[in-house]
Amino acid sequence: MPQYFGQLHTTEPAWSILGAVQAIQQDDRHILLKCGNPCLKISILAPNLIRVRMTPTGEFLPRRSWAVAQADEEWSKVPFQVHEKAETIKITTEQLSVVISRNPCRIKCFDSAGQPFAQDADMGMGWRTGTVAGWKRIETDEHFYGFGEPTGLLDQRSQVRTNWTSDALDYGILTDSMYQAIPFFIALRPGLGYGLFFNTTFWSRFDLGAQQPGVWGMETQGSELDYYIIYGPEPAKILQTYTQLTGRMPLPPRWSLGYHQCRWSYESQDIVQKLAHEFRQRQIPCDVIHLDIDYMNGYRVFTWSPKRFANPKELIQNLKEDGFKLATIVDPGVKYEPEADYKVFDEGLKNDYFIRKTNGQLFHGYVWPDKAVFADYLRQEVRDWWGSLLKSLTEVGVAGIWNDMNEPALDDRPFGDPGNKISFPLDAVQGPSDERTTHAETHNVYGLMMAQASYQALAKSRPTERSFFLTRSGFAGIQRWSAVWTGDNQSLWEHLEMSIPMLCNLGLSGIGFVGADIGGFAGNATAELFARWMQLGMLYPLMRAHSALTTAQHEPWTFGDRVEKICREYIQLRYRLLPYIYTLFWEAATTGAPILRPLLYHFPNDPTTFATADQVMLGSSLLAAPIYRPGVEHRAVYLPQGRWYDWWSGEAFTGPTHILAHAPLEKMPLYVRGGSIIPMIPVMQYVDERPIDQMRLRIWKGVGEFTLYEDDGHTFEYKTGAFCTTTYRVYLQGEQTIVEIEAREGEFSPATREIIVELVGVGEQSFIDDGTAHQLKFSI
């Protein structure tokens, strides 16, 4: 993190603070309040969404499109009223009101019941050299979530969160800047939640009451304070609007929901084929193998090692016959290699695609290929060029692009020597001629732009097949282009535990397709740790095991028979749950809902869930309480309001309650809500092994509904209507439980299949699914 940026606690010059409102202008979307030179602009974009901008100079910045997918003028106009009084100006929409006091100019929001939120603290808004800031009150019982992938706790109250993408190697619970910089959070208290998106790509920081209890602050090195307030009150509603603003994930290929195996490195064609063979022989389902940096020729991006991967096309073809897909790592550092016939370097240099210092010299740092230069993805022509280079991978059949080191991560001297991590010079010029700016403004979006380049290139070059993308770094909106993993974690119990709040907060930041390296990247997992990690990993939206160079192997069979069996069973359970999980991906793609969720997502009025960071929900039905300490076979589990059933034994519980779960190594405590309907399919060795000829609807007594989503799983035709949904319902009628299956809706026709309806603990009935409505009765 650059040391020279203003810290909240240092002896900086005093803040200038926004003064009194002197004049007001209004049109059908905006209210402009002039406070001398400084101006405050409030834009009403939706009944629950307002944008607040404050400029000390009276000049608003040009709009940047990196994170915001829907510009002000693209929101349909909504009615609002403005009431001017002697002391205040009140703006009212259907869902909230904003009250602006005139002297000094401060804003407060209220919900329709008159409860305040996002109220300016005494200081309101201010500025000093190169920095703008805003301060607001922390309400009693208010808690803070999101912020990308903060380590440590789920609730970030009293913490400081810096938004500056960093190579967070060796991160731990005290690490602040992470790979992802997502300046967005959800503030929650019983009965009221709102989201806040700080629209700045410059270095920025939230202080959630660390400096001054009861006040949270936001500060950025930009010249304008620009933020959006999103009223909920529930997290689901906040995320729906936030992802309308910053975009939603497209549906990934269904095979990418299968199990991924990765290692730094499976370093030859032979080793990869043996690995694939091992999975099939041991009947452990797997869909994707990842190649780390050693597939390249001397770490030259977009090359293949002629010795170790002499015939990648043949390798990929062989893997395909066994149902595997291949993903390859792509690093942004391009080997600095003049006059060596290295096309990527030569073309980039010739066309001036690499980042330069202000004196015009090429900027270089040191990464895997030693001295390296870096493309300026901020320019469309550079993104197009980079995208065209991906052909060296996709033309031989690579199906997944794994973008790494894109914070960007680089050293000031050759890797291996004890060096210093550096960033590009902050004054390096980046961007297209009409949007020129410096690295200070674009640092946080470097990974985002690299991911965008990859996504858009493949959407163009492979227009009928979905591809898989993974990135380490990103900014708000990264969900539009890529899945995200939490970088270089460690084979430690603490990291297994920490993956839960990290992935939950990513989900609460609008990023649904997320995972942590199962088994831990750095270090050697013990057999017990690996087994427990695989159990939790079964729930990660991205289920990938990975391990670092020189560590012990981390494949499911390397820890002995007992752990191999556990891995097989949990990976199989993942595959059996695929229709349920794929439907959650669809929900994420259409509403912005997380796939993996903290309990508070579904129980936002239950304060016990606010700090529950060691339990997690997969969708609205499944609740897991993983074991994350060695030698532990029992743990406390909190079951919120409602009826719950033990997944394994069927035992019923009535929440809210705390129970003690028994969890020998073979078992991760898993619960299902009463009234849940979970579609399950027979185990496959890979996701698209064969058409689904049988689906079991597991139904737990109660009242509930589930809408199953289906499409072909691999093309973009779902975008033009080639998908179908089926709604299932369960309820009680007298002594009977009724299960209703509505007629299938939509253009897509799944293969003919048998549907087995199992009312758990009661019995089962079956029928052949022809898409028509059915009603089944179970007598209890």
Residue 488 annotated in active site: yes
Distances (CA, A) of 198 to 42, 150, 450, 772: 14, 16, 22, 48
Instruction: Kindly tell me which of 488 and 555 has the beta carbon lying closer to ligand GLC.
Output: 488
With CB atoms as reference, the residue minimizing the distance to ligand GLC is 264
Residue 712 annotated in active site: no
Instruction: Kindly tell me which of 142 and 292 has the beta carbon lying closer to ligand GLC.
Output: 292
* Options 110, 264, 279, 647; binder of ligand GLC; rule CB under 6 A: 264
Q: Which of 207, 292, 331, 488 is catalytic?
A: 488
Residues 538-557 that bind ligand GLC (CB under 6 A): 546
Encoded tokens for 561: 């028979």
C-alpha span between 464 and 671 (Å, rounded): 39
Residue 292 binding ligand GLC, by CB under 6 A:
yes
C-alpha span between 522 and 264 (Å, rounded): 10
C-alpha span between 720 and 725 (Å, rounded): 15
Instruction: Kindly tell me which of 142 and 294 has the beta carbon lying closer to ligand GLC.
Output: 294
Encoded tokens for 462: 């492979």
Neighbours of 694 (CB within 10 A): 13
Distances (CA, A) of 155 to 147, 319, 576: 10, 43, 33
* Options 472, 532, 576, 673; binder of ligand GLC; rule CB under 6 A: 472
Instruction: Kindly tell me which of 373 and 522 has the beta carbon lying closer to ligand GLC.
Output: 522
C-alpha span between 199 and 717 (Å, rounded): 34
* Options 219, 404, 564, 758; binder of ligand GLC; rule CB under 6 A: 404
Residue 293 binding ligand GLC, by CB under 6 A:
yes
Instruction: Kindly tell me which of 333 and 679 has the beta carbon lying closer to ligand GLC.
Output: 333
Distances (CA, A) of 237 to 156, 194, 592: 20, 9, 9
Residue 267 binding ligand GLC, by CB under 6 A:
no
Per-residue HEC secondary structure of 88-126 comes to EEEEECCCEEEEEECCCCEEEEEECCCCEECCEEEEEEE
Encoded tokens for 602: 């579904």
Residues 348-377 that bind ligand GLC (CB under 6 A): none
**CB 253 → ligand GLC: shortest distance, Å?**
21
Report yes or no: 125 and 134 within 8 Å, Cβ to Cβ. Answer: yes
Q: What is the DSSP letter of 743?
A: P
Distances (CA, A) of 353 to 271, 374, 383: 36, 8, 9
Pairing state between β 184-189 and 120-128: unpaired
C-alpha span between 162 and 167 (Å, rounded): 13
Q: How many CA atoms lie within 13 A of 60 on its CB side?
A: 15
**CB 264 → ligand GLC: shortest distance, Å?**
4
Q: How far apart are the first and last CA of the chain?
A: 63
**CB 429 → ligand GLC: shortest distance, Å?**
28
**CB 409 → ligand GLC: shortest distance, Å?**
8
Residue 488 binding ligand GLC, by CB under 6 A:
yes
Instruction: Kindly tell me which of 159 and 328 has the beta carbon lying closer to ligand GLC.
Output: 328
674: phi > 0 → left, psi -120 to 50 → alpha, else beta; which?
beta
Instruction: Kindly tell me which of 155 and 488 has the beta carbon lying closer to ligand GLC.
Output: 488
347: phi > 0 → left, psi -120 to 50 → alpha, else beta; which?
alpha
Instruction: Kindly tell me which of 219 and 404 has the beta carbon lying closer to ligand GLC.
Output: 404
Encoded tokens for 742: 């509505």
Residues 502-521 that bind ligand GLC (CB under 6 A): 521
**CB 549 → ligand GLC: shortest distance, Å?**
7
Residue 142 binding ligand GLC, by CB under 6 A:
no
C-alpha span between 759 and 698 (Å, rounded): 6
**CB 329 → ligand GLC: shortest distance, Å?**
6
Q: Which of 404, 528, 587, 646 is catalytic?
A: 404
Q: How many CA atoms lie within 13 A of 766 on its CB side?
A: 9
C-alpha span between 704 and 778 (Å, rounded): 15
Closest CA to 348 of 338, 358, 357: 338
Residue 614 binding ligand GLC, by CB under 6 A:
no
Q: What is the DSSP letter of 775?
A: E
* Options 183, 487, 556, 704; binder of ligand GLC; rule CB under 6 A: 487
**Helix (H, G, I), strand (E, B), or coil: what is residue 758?**
strand
Instruction: Kindly tell me which of 178 and 687 has the beta carbon lying closer to ligand GLC.
Output: 178
- How are strands ordered across the β-sheet holding 596-597? 596-597, 616-618, 622-624, 670-673, 634-646, 652-662
C-alpha span between 232 and 481 (Å, rounded): 26
Encoded tokens for 455: 């996504």
Instruction: Kindly tell me which of 155 and 331 has the beta carbon lying closer to ligand GLC.
Output: 331
C-alpha span between 201 and 220 (Å, rounded): 9
Closest CA to 159 of 227, 226, 205: 205
Q: Where are the alpha helices (DSSP H) in 283-396?
A: 312-321, 343-350, 380-389, 391-394
Q: Which of 224, 407, 710, 769 is catalytic?
A: 407
C-alpha span between 91 and 99 (Å, rounded): 6
Instruction: Kindly tell me which of 155 and 292 has the beta carbon lying closer to ligand GLC.
Output: 292
Residues 308-347 that bind ligand GLC (CB under 6 A): 329
Print the binding letters for residues 219-258 with ligand GLC: x by CB under 6 A, - otherwise: ----------------------------------------
**Count of residues binding ligand GLC (CB under 6 A)?**
10
Residue 401 binding ligand GLC, by CB under 6 A:
no
Instruction: Kindly tell me which of 206 and 521 has the beta carbon lying closer to ligand GLC.
Output: 521
Distances (CA, A) of 325 to 343, 647, 744: 27, 32, 31
Instruction: Kindly tell me which of 220 and 473 has the beta carbon lying closer to ligand GLC.
Output: 473
Print the binding letters for residues 735-764 with ligand GLC: x by CB under 6 A, - otherwise: ------------------------------
Encoded tokens for 170: 């060796």
Binding region for ligand GLC (CB under 6 A): 264, 292-293, 329, 404, 472, 487-488, 521, 546
Catalytic residue set: 404, 407, 488
